[in-house]
Every structure is written in structure tokens, then in C-alpha cells.
Structure 1
Amino acid sequence: MGVTYMLTILGVTMITVFTYFIMSGRLSSFTALTIIPLIFAIIGGFITSVDEMMLDGVKLVATSAVFLLFALLFFGIMIDAGMFDPLIKKILKTVKGDPLKVAIGTAVLTLLVALDGDGTTTFIIVISSMLPLYKRLNMNPLVLATISMLAFSVVCGVTPWGGPGIRALSVLGLNQTDFFVPLIPTLIGGSIWVIFVSFILGKMERKRLGVIDLKESAATHDESLEEVAFGHDESIKRPQLIWINLILTIIVMAVLISGLVQPAILFLIAAVVAMLINYPTLAQQKDRIKDHGGNALLVLLVVFAGGAFTGILSGTKMVDSIASNLVSIIPDSWGAFFPIIVGLVSIPFTFVMSNDAFYFGVVPIFASTAQAYGIEPIEIVRTVVLTQSAHFLLPLVPATILLTGMLKLNIAEYVRFTLKWSVLTCIVLISLAWLTGAIMTG
């Protein structure tokens, strides 16, 4: 019993110190995930075996890292080739001067672009595309910020190549297809919810502003919108291949859902095929890899370091000790509802913590605790990723800083306006996952 409590204290202290250094910005995620657990493992007397623990953790996340690398490359190529461009142009032309249509168009555009899985890329495309229209109609930029954030949080959280999912799945060694397929109804329902929220906000803006006639100087306006939406570099666009790229994407998603091929190998093949179709020369391929390689490398560094962190957390039995003590303080009658409890607790957790701190440090404890109640760890992963809309309120999130910066918003004003819709979105997604069986209760 004494050893268990000592390991619990050591583990909780390690996670607290790790969280502090991450949240304060004193250490990068990559550095903190490596150095801090190493120091605590040495303090705990595990100096002779800590390298093996870290290596076991790295091996655990290797498959997920491969999957992430090639999924990001595949969707990056699809965006580079312009697969979404006709849809963006159609949305811009359809919404015209109606604030309600503009708000719904923002939601639809973000839901599709968010398949890239990168918040920075998504917000750059969406804000650049829609902001001129919002300014022209005198619409509230907070509406643009709220809709785009909610839409991205739904797609980013539920898709297995999004940041939250890949972190949790990699450190627990779980399968991407097993995670994603049961959440597809939640993804669809969540997308409908975001469109509904955009309808409400758009209707409020229509009531305030009315419908504005944009026929005057429309050609110039459309041209300026397309310029900021798609940029000046047309050399990498492949409009003649749009249908081939679309069919390839549909096939890849169908195979992913079917589980016929391991996700990592599926996206390896998909990325290579997409590259050969769109950029057949060696020089073109090098340019595309160079363009996407920087972001992918940063993510992979964090994933591998997170594996080392989790290897120490598991190898030293810290996670088991924390979980056993957590079980002892939760009433037995609450055990069957543990996934729901985790979901609700995750709302404030993800708001005040970085994704690295939460998914690498806290989620393994939740997963280990759940097993004591006969609940599979993958259900916990499906639950915790549904609270990303709370996380994107955090002023320390780079994508949030970019979003508010591009719109020149005061962060306090942004949080006040978005908080209600953010919390409601978390609750709706958790409810949808429970109703569709993605997360179970006794």
C-alpha cells in the first residue's frame, strides 16, 4: 500500500510539473515530454530500466505516427491540388448578401476544409475566404470565429488523424478504425449541430442587418474573394484532376471505414498514389514534401516523445497506482457512468490544459481507471475527443491565437461570446455518442 501511494504521489507530481511547464511556455511539448518523465523516473529509482520503458513507449506509438504522417500528407496534397476549390467558389457565389447564407456557408466550408486536420491551415483558408464577405456585409466577426471554431473542433476531434485522436490512440496503442467507425454518426450529427448553430447566429445577423444587394461591383468583389481564398500560386493546382482526386478520396475513406487495410499502410499507399497522379515529377514531389514536411515533423516529434512519456508512466506503474486510488474515491454506483463523468470532467480539463498535457498525461489514467469498471479504454478515447470546442477557447492554443489575430478580436470578448456555444457543443457530441452507442453506460 505504501508503494502504491508513493507511486501515486510521484505520478501526480510528474503530471503537475509537466503541465506547468507546458502551460507556462517554459518548455516545448517535445522537450517536456522527454525530460520531465526521465527525471521523475530516476527519482523513483528506475534509472536502470528507464531506457527500456521509453523504447517500449516509442514502439507503441510507431504505427500511429506512420498513419499520421501519411494522412497529413494525403490531405495536404488534396488541398494543394485544389480539390475543394470549386466548392469554395460555389459557396462564395451562393451566399451573396444574405447573412444567414453566409453563416451556413462558413460552417459547410470549415467542415470540409477541416478534414486536413490542421487548425492553422483550416483557419487561414476559411478566414481568408469569408472575412472579406463578412466585412462587406458588416457582419460580426465573432460569428465567423465561433462557427469556424466549432466546425473545426467537431471534425478535428472525431477524425483519427486529428490531433486529439492521434495522441490518445498512439499512447494507448489502440486501432484507428475501431475508434473512428462508431463515431461516424456522432460526426454527422455534430456537423448538423454546427450548421444549426450557424443558422441561429446567421438569423440573428440577418435580423440585425437585413439582406444586402451585392450586385454592385460584383465581378470585382468575386475576384478579390477568390484571390484571398486561393492565393496567387496556381502552378500547384490540378483542376483537370478534380474528379480523379475526389474518387480517390472517397475510396480511401471507404477502405478506412471498412477496416480492410491497416490505416497506416492505407494512407501510405494513398499518399503515394495522390503524389504520382498530381505531381509526377521528382522536383514537384520534393516541393510538396518540403511544403508539408515541417508541420508533420513537429507533430511526429511530439507523438514519439509522448510515447516515451507514456512508456515511463506505464513502466513505473505510476498510472496503475493513480488509477487504483481514483477508483477508491469514486462511489461504486457511479462506475457504470464513468465515460459520461470523464466527458463532463474533460470540458474544463481541456480548457485549462494543452492537448499534450491532457492526452499524454491525464487520459491514460482515465483509461486505466475505466478498466476497473469493465469499460474498454477506447470508449474513454472516444469520449475525451468530443470536448475540443472547449479546448479552442484556450488563448494559448496557436490556432486560437491565429483565429483571433486574423479577425483582430479581443480574446476575452471571443471567450465570452463563444463559451455558451462551445459548452453546448461538447454536451451535444457526448449525448450523440452515448445515444449511438459509441460510448456505453451500464
Structure 2
Amino acid sequence: MLAILGFLMIIVFMVLIMTRRIAAMIALIVVPVVFALIGGFGKEMGPMALEGIKSVAPTGIMILFAILFFGIMIDAGVFDPIISTILKIVKGDPVKIAIGTAVLALLISLDGDGTTTYMITISAMLPLYKRIGMKPLILAGIAVSSSGVMNLLPWGGPTARAMTALQLEMGDVFTPIIPSMIGGVLFVLFMAYCLGRKERKRIGVLEIDYETMAQMAASAEADQLKRPKLILINYLLTILLLVALIQEILPTTVLFMLGFAIAATINYPNLHEQKERIMHYADNALSVVSMVFAAGIFTGILSGTKMVDAMANSMITHIPDALGSQLAIITAIISAPFTFFMSNDAFYYGVLPLLAKAASVYGIDPAIIGRASLLGQPVHLLSPLVPSTYLLVGMVGEDFGDLQRMFLKWACGSTAVMILVAVILSII
């Protein structure tokens, strides 16, 4: 009964946001509350929701200060050289711009943090997309697709969870799937090429020289906010922050708070200027952070009612014995919908050990199941339960449902390519 209730809740939620019947933030709050009441969890619902909010609080605060930090860097002109370099290469060709976006996002994703990837990629490329008339939704889709493949890096999260849950080493899980990641990267570049072709057909190639494009991009931000004399200091601060994030010197939330405080003080020492910069990004920050806390209610109720456990057990027990020897491939396939409908923590710490235990009966190494469980990550990042994706759609000013409608098929394609490479090369 709980499993059926859980599946119905997910279906209703997805239908509501993808058909634009209700805003995603409201659906994240209302839908789980209604289904919790239907399931008879009225008395326990409050503590469940509060627990979910507590679990996402560090992420919400981190995103808030990440927006403020990178906002300061954007205003100060830190990313202007990046934009200029890209402009020299891509000029006015939508195909080159789309591929350039993918390359930039893939490179930035090496830090393993989706929030950083989106902040830098969107900040660098959005002015260009707007100036030549390309759809910002394509920019968001390419960024999330790139991050979906690179999310498999050991410091990205899922791989570390898989290794911890199955008590394995990096050489057991991550190193063997590098060829699959390469396949995923090539697919993302192919996707960017296809989308660029469609945009080229729609708007054509703009015949404008680099100087004109640079002036257009530069005019997107107020010149008085630029801090060219501080650019080296700002680069150093940004690099130090990224290194500290990767090395986990301090919690991510604390690092972004410190980074913002230092950046604001250096670039805009005047108290009035600091308040103006904070107010400038307040609208975007509020919409994104409120969505994160709303998602906390959804995940809190989904986990607290044990619906997520019932859903997982229901799917696992319905795998026929005849397919037992194919559990690695089955794990790879179901990792996409499982990580879409539940958090990575719930899947890797709750479901993965069950899958590995079931596979061991058929003589399948837990390491193989661990590798297979990572291949659905491109689909996972389009889940309404991923906070950073709300930041992404907020930055480009698009609707979450539109992003899902346009790019879920591409995400499934990326997962399919990685699974195919893994099967061909006997990685799983």
C-alpha cells in the first residue's frame, strides 16, 4: 500500500509541474502533505517535514551564499576574459556557441560541484545567448547534461556514497567506469551540436566581428561595477575557494559564506554598495532557496512515511529469478528512475546494499553493482529533488517543467550510451 501511495505521489507531482497546473514550489509542499494525510500520517507529518527541512538547510544556505559570491564576481568583471575568449572562437555561430557551452561546463564540472558549474557557465554564456537570440533553456540543458556525466567523479558525491555503502575503494568503482564517462562526454557534445544546428536553422549565423560581440557582451553589465584593478585578486580568491571546496577544508556552507564576505569587502567596501549588491541578487536567491526548503518537505515526508523504502523493495522483489544473472544491467537501468524519484542518499545507502546483496546470490561482485548504480546520474540531475537544478533554471529565467520536457530524453540517451559502453567493455 505504501509503495502504491509513493508511486502515485510521484506521478501526481510530475504531472502537475510538467503540465504547468501548479508551480513546482507549491507542488513540493502541497502534494506530499495531501498524500501523507491520505496515508494516515497526519500526526507524524509535522516532524517528518521538519526533519526534511533540516536535512536541506545546509544546502539552501550554501546556495544562497554561492549566488551572492558569484554575483559579486560577475559584477566585478571576473568572467569577462572568459566571455571574450569564447567570443573569439564561437563568434555568431549557434553550433559553435552550443559546443563551446558544453566544453566550458564539462571543464568547470571537474570540481564536482553542480552549483559552481551552473553559476560560472550561466554567468559566462547567458549574455551571449541573449544577444544573438538563442534560447536560454538550451544553455541550461547543456549545463545540466554536462554536470550529469561529470557528477560521477569521486568527489562529486554519488561515487563516494557507492564506495561507502559497499565498503569499496576508488579503484573498484570509479576507475573502471572512466570509459563510460568518456562515452557520456561525447554524447553531450553530440547533443550540443544537434541543438546548435536547430538554433542555427532558426536564427542563422550572425555576421558580426569579435569587437562588436565583445562590446555587446560588455554592455550587459554596468561599467561602474567593474573592478579591473582587482581582477587578479578576485581570480586568486575564486581559485582558493574552489580548491578549498575540493579539499573540503571547511564545510561548503562556511566556505561560501567566508568567500562572499571577503569578496564583498574587497570589491565594494562602501556599505551602501554592499547593500545594493545583496538586494540585486535577493530576488533570484529567494526563489531558489525557497524551492530548496520546499523540496525538503517533499523528501522528509517521502522518507519519513517509509514510502521510499516500500517503493524500492517493491521494485526489487518484482525482478524475476531468470533475470538474476543480469542484475548489474538491471541496476544500471533502474538507477535512472530510482535516483530521479529519491535522493542520492536514499538510493545509495538504502537501495544499493539490497541490490548488491541480491546480486551476490548469483555470484556478481558488489563492485560491479556499485559501478552500475552510477550510470543513471544524468537523469538524476533533472529530478525535482536536486536543489542545484532550481538554481540553474532560476539563473536562466526558465521553468523547471520546460527543462524536464526538453532534456529528459537527452538525459536518458546519455545514460543509455554510458550503459552501452559499460556492457561492451565488460565494465558491468
Q: Secondary structure at the match of 2:77?
A: coil
Deviations 1:329-365 (A, max 9, x none): 124434444552235558xx97xxxxxxx456x9946
User: Shift of residue 83 of structure 1?
Assistant: 0.9
One of 361, 379, 402 as aligned partner of 1:387: 379
- Structure-1 separation of matches of 2:151 and 2:219: 25
Q: Do structure 1's residue 31 and structure 2's residue 26 form an aligned pair?
A: yes
Pair 1:73–1:113, CA change in 2 (3 A): farther
- Structure-1 separation of matches of 2:197 and 2:52: 50
> Match of 2:387?
none
> Match of 2:350?
368
User: Shift of residue 51 of structure 1?
Assistant: 0.9
Deviations 1:366-424 (A, max 9, x none): 86332312489998995444237989xxxxx995997999xxxxx9xx97xx9997665
Q: Do structure 1's residue 288 and structure 2's residue 296 form an aligned pair?
A: no
User: Would you say the 8 A contact 1:366–1:380 is kept in 2?
Assistant: no
| Matches for 1:96-135 after TM superposition, within 5 Å | 105-108=100-103, 126=125, 128-129=127-128
Pair 1:227–1:264, CA change in 2 (3 A): same
Q: Mind listing any 5+ residue stretches in structure 2 that lack a counterpart?
A: 357-365, 384-389
> Match of 1:341?
333
Q: With structure 1 as the length reference, what TM-score do the two structures score?
A: 0.66
| Matches for 1:47-66 after TM superposition, within 5 Å | 47-66=42-61
| Matches for 1:133-282 after TM superposition, within 5 Å | 149-151=141-143, 153-155=145-147, 158=150, 193=186, 197=190, 218=209, 222-231=211-220, 233-282=222-271
Write the letter of the residue equivalent to 2:64: L
> Match of 1:408?
none
- Structure-2 separation of matches of 1:268 and 1:433: 40
- Structure-1 separation of matches of 2:192 and 2:298: 43
Deviations 1:87-145 (A, max 9, x none): 22233235568998666545445667897668799568535426767x9xxxxx79x98
Pair 1:48–1:296, CA change in 2 (3 A): same
- Structure-1 separation of matches of 2:234 and 2:241: 10
Q: Do structure 1's residue 16 and structure 2's residue 45 form an aligned pair?
A: no
- Structure-1 separation of matches of 2:408 and 2:305: 39
- Structure-2 separation of matches of 1:290 and 1:401: 16
User: Would you say the 8 A contact 1:76–1:116 is kept in 2?
Assistant: no
Pair 1:237–1:275, CA change in 2 (3 A): same
User: Shift of residue 65 of structure 1?
Assistant: 1.6
Deviations 1:124-174 (A, max 9, x none): 8535426767x9xxxxx79x98688434531377569xxxx99xx9xxxx9
One of 297, 303, 322 as aligned partner of 2:286: 297
User: Would you say the 8 A contact 1:147–1:198 is kept in 2?
Assistant: no
Write the letter of the residue equivalent to 1:153: S
Paired positions, count: 381
Pair 1:320–1:388, CA change in 2 (3 A): closer
Q: With structure 2 as the length reference, what TM-score do the two structures score?
A: 0.67
User: Would you say the 8 A contact 1:342–1:383 is kept in 2?
Assistant: no
Deviations 1:34-90 (A, max 9, x none): 222222222222222211111111111112222222222222222221111012223
Aligned-residue sequence identity (percent) comes to 34
User: Would you say the 8 A contact 2:33–2:45 is kept in 1?
Assistant: yes
- Structure-1 separation of matches of 2:41 and 2:329: 36
> Match of 1:42?
37
User: Would you say the 8 A contact 2:102–2:189 is kept in 1?
Assistant: no
User: Would you say the 8 A contact 1:120–1:402 is kept in 2?
Assistant: no
User: Would you say the 8 A contact 2:69–2:259 is kept in 1?
Assistant: yes
Pair 1:131–1:424, CA change in 2 (3 A): same
User: Would you say the 8 A contact 2:287–2:394 is kept in 1?
Assistant: no
> Match of 2:80?
85
Q: Mind listing any 5+ residue stretches in structure 1 that lack a counterpart?
A: 1-5, 136-140, 351-357, 392-396, 406-410
- Structure-1 separation of matches of 2:253 and 2:63: 8
- Structure-2 separation of matches of 1:119 and 1:32: 24
Pair 1:156–1:233, CA change in 2 (3 A): farther
- Structure-2 separation of matches of 1:45 and 1:344: 30
Write the letter of the residue equivalent to 1:322: M
One of 315, 323, 327 as aligned partner of 1:326: 315
- Structure-2 separation of matches of 1:20 and 1:195: 27
Pair 1:17–1:345, CA change in 2 (3 A): closer
